[in-house]
Chain A
């Protein structure tokens, strides 16, 4: 093989290698053109006599140029990526954040046990006209409980204000379950009619009226903890202290609102209860009793069997609690009423402005404000609910106070933010105006304008905020930019 022949193959290989850099769909044509050009270059540079080396060097230089051409062709044939529409400071980003916060608070409300219990409690409304009777508490150490003997005496007598009584007292007892565990539970020994009086429906009810064996109602927690939520345990027999008892059902979560944390209720005939036990009496009011008990609790005077009289306190079992929904509505109403005190409720549009945006733009602006408020209102419900009920608090009304305060604060400052944010958004594209620049200088006579200018990154508007409001320039004004500004905003997203 002669050197010239070898160099020819080298040049062809160089071109073939360079062709690999060209885009695949243009490679054939690219190769055809360079191959043809190489033929002409070789012909033009063919030495007529002797010195072939400079000619071949020129041909090689020509072939090396093909590499650069192929690279350029590849770079230029690449489709430029479409400019990503920036969400920064846009209305969609704002709505997205609010929606995410709402979704998070809603999910937490679904998951947190305290909130779930509160929700369940609302589902099961206790029968109206019930009173919890206990002794008045004169000092911290004095027990509030009522003796079983007292309960029996009241029940035996003809009553004007009450037509039914139930009693329960709580004892800590060891329990033998058929799962093999022997936990110690807080067992409430209760009258057989307790749940019927309360009106709480039982889950997996398996009551056996004919059986002489006492029935036991499991709490929601004990049912989940000891029996893994298995509904087949209804009807099984377990041993509680000295008694065998049949599981007659499960109390719904959050349905128990009376004093005492209870794992199970052992329903017994009144005669079977310990005569010396101290517990609580639940009484059902007659019509006359309800008329007397207007306005909540009452002092009840009861006569003892031997003629003495004692005072007791009757507390409505329904409780004074208004429920999270009522509290929310009350706090939200307060927040709306207080809103004008913390911010101006105008939208910041000056009447001096001759430019009127189109109906579509105005509609979308108002729609955006409504969407923000529509998302804020449920946030102001769920976030305080999560805060108030995420764990049990020592003070009984603490969750309600906390919910009330949090709802008011979130409602008030949330709506204040919604209005302030709205006034800082370009009326055309609803993006936040940015790049604040101080313009002008303070004037002693207030005749020179001085303030801050903010610009819409989409190139639609300028917002003038006066540094010192005057009678002729008291509020913010929008300046709509004309087409001469377009060159500054090439490539910015459309509004």
Chain B
């Protein structure tokens, strides 16, 4: 009985949508909610799990920028290399993903 050497990560459709949204430039929680149409109670926990699995990483906006715009600083999310490769695999698994959330390049064409 052989084992798979490197098991291919399998994401849920929701997690794949969030990865795709971040990749498409929606990089903070509320914008991802807006883009995917998912409720806050789904998006934020999913993002924490993706961060725990090192598929995305977060970074707080500099306070000076937020002060200049007279708003609280935001927490931005970004794909990691592992997240990018996982997203590639998820796109093969969910072919409509790119149509649902087109990436920046696709939008600019």
Contact = CB atoms under 8 A, between A and B. Distances in A.
A33 B75 contact: yes
B45 A37 contact: no
A37 B30 contact: yes
B48 A76 contact: yes
A40 B45 CA distance: 19
A65 B71 contact: no
B49 interface: yes
A378 B17 CA distance: 70
Contact of B3 (A39, A44, A487): A487
Given A36-B74, A484-B2, A69 B52 contact: no
B25 interface: no
Given A37-B29, A41-B30, A69-B44, A61 B74 contact: no
B40 A69 contact: yes
A35 B72 contact: yes
Contacts of B72: 32, 35-36, 39
Interface in B81-106: none
B59 to A, nearest CB: 12
Nearest to B75: A33
A485 interface: yes
Contacts of A32: 72, 75
Interface residues of B, number: 23
A37 B48 contact: no
Nearest to B58: A33
Nearest to A487: B3
A34 B47 CA distance: 13
B37 interface: no
Given A73-B48, A484-B3, A40 B40 contact: no
B42 interface: yes
Given A40-B71, A72-B45, A484 B1 contact: yes
A485 B52 contact: no
Interface string A41-54: 10110000000000
A69 B41 contact: yes
A300 interface: no
A39 B40 contact: no
A39 B70 CA distance: 11
Given A33-B29, A69-B48, A484-B2, A61 B71 contact: no
A131 interface: no
Contacts of B40: 37, 61-66, 69
A72 B48 contact: yes
Given A33-B29, A37-B28, A67 B73 contact: no
Nearest to A35: B72
A36 B73 contact: yes
Contacts of A61: 39-40
A68 interface: yes
Contacts of B43: 65
Nearest to A71: B45
A62 B44 CA distance: 11
A36 B45 contact: no
A65 B1 CA distance: 45
A41 B72 CA distance: 12
Contacts of A65: 39-44
Contacts of B39: 61-62, 65
A76 B52 contact: yes
Contacts of A486: 3
Contacts of B34: 44
A337 to B, nearest CB: 49
B41 A44 contact: no
Contact of A36 (B3, B42, B75): B75
A17 to B, nearest CB: 15
A8 to B, nearest CB: 14
A43 B45 CA distance: 23
Interface in B54-79: 71-75
Given A36-B75, A484-B1, A44 B48 contact: no
Nearest to A41: B30
A36 B2 CA distance: 50
Nearest to A33: B75
B85 to A, nearest CB: 23
Closest 9 CB pairs of A and B: A65-B40, A65-B41, A68-B41, A72-B45, A36-B72, A69-B44, A484-B1, A62-B40, A33-B75
Given A61-B40, A484-B3, 14 more contacts: A35-B72, A36-B75, A40-B71, A62-B33, A65-B41, A65-B44, A67-B41, A68-B42, A72-B45, A72-B48, A73-B45, A73-B48, A485-B1, A487-B3
Interface of A: 32-37, 39-41, 43-44, 61-69, 72-73, 76, 483-487
6 contacts: A36-B73, A65-B40, A66-B44, A69-B41, A72-B49, A73-B45
